[in-house]
Structure 1
Amino acid sequence: MNGIAFKDGEWIETARTGWSLADRGGLLGDGLFETLHVIKGKAVRFDRHMTRLARSAAELGLPGPHDADGMAGLIEELVARNALKDAMVRLTLTAGPGPRGLERPDELVPSLTLTASPRAAPPASIALSLSEIRRSPASLAARHKTLSYMDNIQARRQARGQGADMALLLDTRGHVSGGDSANVFWLIAGEVYTPATACGVLAGTVRAEILDSMPVETGAFGLDVLEGAEAVFVTNAAFGAVPVATLDGRALGTGELPARIKALFA
C-alpha cells in the first residue's frame, strides 16, 4: 500500500523509503525496531516502547531517539498524513551506513524510519504449532527487538505449513519461551503464569503491563504446564491479548481470555 513515511528528517512516499546500499540494518541486521498501536494519533503504551528502545539501544551501542515528545509528535503527524485512525506504526532504527565487514564506523550516522499501516482486527483465537527452532537465553536477538528476525520468520513458516497461525518456541533447555511474535501466558488454579526473561523472552510492552497490573508467577516451565492450563493466551502490541485454542491440533484450556485479562483491553 502506498502512503507517507518519515525517514531521516523527511516526509516521503513509501515507495521511496529504500535504505542506503551500505546501511548496516539491511546488510547485517544491525538495528532495532518497535511496533506501536496508534489510536487517533496517540501511541498505546508509548512510554513502555520508548523505554525498551532506549534500553536496547544503550546495550547494543546505538544512539537511540532521545526526544520522546518529538517522537510522539512525529507519530501523530505520520498517521494524520496517512489518514489513519487505528494504525500500526513501525519505528526502525539502524546503525546507518558503514564499510564492508563487521566493524562499525568510528562515528555512526543512524537512520530512523517511521511507517504506518491500518491495524487489522485481532483474531478471536489462534492455533499454535511447536517449532523445532530453539531460543538461546544468551542471544541478543532473543532479548532485544533487533532486525535479525530469521529464527522468527522460519518458525512462522513452519507453523503455517502445519496449518497453525503462530509458532511456539522453547528455549535451548526445553523451557517454554513464547510465540514467534508474542509473549505467552497461562492460568492454573486461578494464578497467572508466564516465562521469565531468562528463558529467551523478549520483554513485551503488553507483557509488562500485565505484570504491573496483577500478580504473575514467572519462571522456567516445561511444555507440560500448558496441557493442564485453564486458559492460555498470547500478547503483543498489535492485538493486545488473544486466547490460544490449540497447540499442534490439541485443545488448550477454554479458548477464552480470563476475565481479569480481558478487562485490561476492554
Structure 2
Amino acid sequence: MRTVYVNGDYLPEDQAKVSVFDRGFLFADAVYEVTSVLDGKIIAFDGHVERLARSLAELGMDMPMSPEALLDIHRELVARNAIDEGLIYLQVSRGAADRDFAYPAADTPQTVVLFTQAKAGLADAPMAKTGMKVISIPDRRWGRRDIKTVQLLYPSMGKMLAKDAGVHDAWMVEDGAVTEGTSNNAYIVKDGTIITRHLGEEILHGITRKAVLAYAAEAQMKVEERAFTLAEAQAADEAFITSASTFVMPVVEIDGVPVGSGEPGPVAARLREIYLDESRKAAV
C-alpha cells in the first residue's frame, strides 16, 4: 500500500482524506504538477516548482511552502514507496470552505496532496520504438491553458475519443492550427527544422518542452516556434510529443495518415536520447 502526503501528514493511501468542501473538488480551483522519477531521483524539479508558483500566482494563490520543503516531501515519498521509476503527483487547492463561487478568506488553509505512481520501464517504453498514433479533435478547453489547473475533463474526453478510435492520443485543433495533445506538447519536423507552437495562453508551457528545445539548440538543430496546421503535420517528415511522463515520444500517424515513412524518425530518437541522458545527470 502506498504512503501519500496530505496536509503535513504521511498516511497509508486508504486513510488519506480531503474535505467534501474542498474547492478543488467543487470548482476545480486547484493546480497540479507531475514530476518523473528515474533511478530513484527526481527529474526537472526546479522547472516544475517554478511553474507551480506561476500557476498559483495566476489564480491569486500563494506557494504552500518553500521549494526546499516540497523537495523534501518528494524525496520522502520516493523513499517510503521505493520508487525507482515512476511519477510524483502534486496538487494544491485553495482549500475547504462553504460552497460559494467567490473565493474564501485569504487565510483559508490550502490543501496540499502528493502521491506516487510506480511506472517500471518509463525510460525504455516500447512505444518509443514503434511510435504512437493520434487523431485530431476540436480544442474546446477554456482559454487559460497556460495555467496548469486540474480542469482536465475535456482532455479526458479526448483521451477516450482516441481510445475509441483505436489510437493512443488526440491532437487538439483551434482556428485551423494544432494547439497541443491532451497531455503533451506537439511537434513536427520538416526539412530538418523542428516546429512547435509558440508559447501563449493557448498551450501549457511544458517543462519538458523547454528542456528539449534547449537541447535541440545546443545540438545545432533548427527550431521554429509557430503554429502549424493539421495538413502540415500530416505532410511532415516526423512528428513527436513531449511531456514529463513520456519524455520525447514519436508520432507516426495522424488521422490515419502516416507521418513521413510511418516509422519513428531520427530527430525524435536523438532528442529522446539527449533528454534522458541530460535529465539523469541533473536529477535530484
State the TM-score, normalizing by the size of structure 1.
0.92
Q: Say if 2:230 is the partner of 1:223.
A: yes
* 2:241 alignment partner in structure 1: 234
2:152 & 2:119 partners in 1: Cα distance? 21
Contact 1:191–1:217 (8 Å) recurs in 2: yes
* 2:195 alignment partner in structure 1: 193
1:64 & 1:174 partners in 2: Cα distance? 37
* 2:108 alignment partner in structure 1: 108
Q: Say if 2:63 is the partner of 1:61.
A: no
CA RMSD across the alignment: 1.6
1:148 & 1:134 partners in 2: Cα distance? 12
What's the secondary structure of 1:148's corresponding residue? coil
1:212 & 1:98 partners in 2: Cα distance? 43
* 2:271 alignment partner in structure 1: 261
Instruction: Return the offset for 1:62.
Output: 1.4
Q: How does 1:12-31 map to 2 (within 5 A)?
A: 12-31=11-30
* 2:214 alignment partner in structure 1: 212
**Cα pair distance change 1:216/1:105, threshold 3 Å:** same
What's the secondary structure of 1:153's corresponding residue? helix
What's the secondary structure of 1:26's corresponding residue? helix
1:148 & 1:135 partners in 2: Cα distance? 9
**1:12-31 Cα deviation digits (max 9, x unpaired):** 01122231011000111000
Q: Say if 2:145 is the partner of 1:165.
A: no
1:103 & 1:187 partners in 2: Cα distance? 46
2:275 is aligned with what amino acid? L
State the TM-score, normalizing by the size of structure 2.
0.87
1:246 is aligned with what amino acid? E
Unmatched runs of 5 consecutive residues or more in structure 1: none
Unmatched runs of 5 consecutive residues or more in structure 2: 278-284
Range with greater deviation from structure 2 (207-216 or 239-248): 207-216
Paired-residue identity, %: 28
Instruction: Return the offset for 1:264.
Output: 2.5
**Cα pair distance change 1:37/1:234, threshold 3 Å:** same
1:89 & 1:230 partners in 2: Cα distance? 34
Instruction: Return the offset for 1:135.
Output: 4.4
What's the secondary structure of 1:89's corresponding residue? strand
Q: How does 1:110-125 map to 2 (within 5 A)?
A: 110-120=110-120, 121=122, 122=125, 123-124=127-128, 125=131
**Cα pair distance change 1:34/1:207, threshold 3 Å:** same
Contact 1:206–1:237 (8 Å) recurs in 2: yes
What's the secondary structure of 1:113's corresponding residue? strand
Instruction: Return the offset for 1:101.
Output: 1.9
Instruction: Return the offset for 1:66.
Output: 4.2
How many residues align structurally? 261
